[in-house]
Amino acid sequence: MSSKKERLSILSEMIAFAKVDGKVKEPEYNFLLGVSSQLNVDRQSFEALFETKAEHIIPKTQAERILQFHRLVLLMNVDQVQDEIEITRLHQIGLGMGLPPTAIDRVLAVMHDYPNKVVPPKVLIDIFKAHYN
């Protein structure tokens, strides 16, 4: 498991992403709360991230980066609305983590092929594997 600093960074990035369209909707908030629970971040620390960003730490391994990208794709689609600003920001975040641009584009394209735009983890991993071979 990541350090507390790394877990807070993950959540902070996700909260900032949820705010990119100006507001955090209830489904987004509930999703974020669930992720914070999975990451063993207490409620008080979670709530504090809405006011103060944590230090940004890029996930160390490629697997952690892909997992974080997947979380962000799920977060973007949890409210069933994908604004252009969200798609652009998600693409920028993926590039900032060092993910291949073609893999990012492929994930954003194939998400429309799945119910609720939820790309199955295996499909996501296969997309990234194909771009690393």
Averaged pLDDT score across all residues of the chain: 91
Give the separation between CA 89 and CA 84, rounded to whole angstroms: 8
DSSP H or E segment with residue 54: none
How do residues 45-67 score in pLDDT, each as one tens digit? 999 999 999 999 988 899 999 99
Task: State mean pLDDT over 70-74.
Answer: 93
pLDDT band for position 107 (50/70/90)? very high
pLDDT of residue 94: 94
In this model, does residue 72 exceed pLDDT 60? yes
Buried-exposed string 77-101: b where 16+ CB fall within 10 A, e elsewhere: bbbeebeeebeebbbebbeebebee
Q: Does residue 2 carry a pLDDT above 80?
A: no
Residue of 71, 92, 69, 81 whose CA lies nearest to 21: 81
* pLDDT greater than 80 at residue 81: no
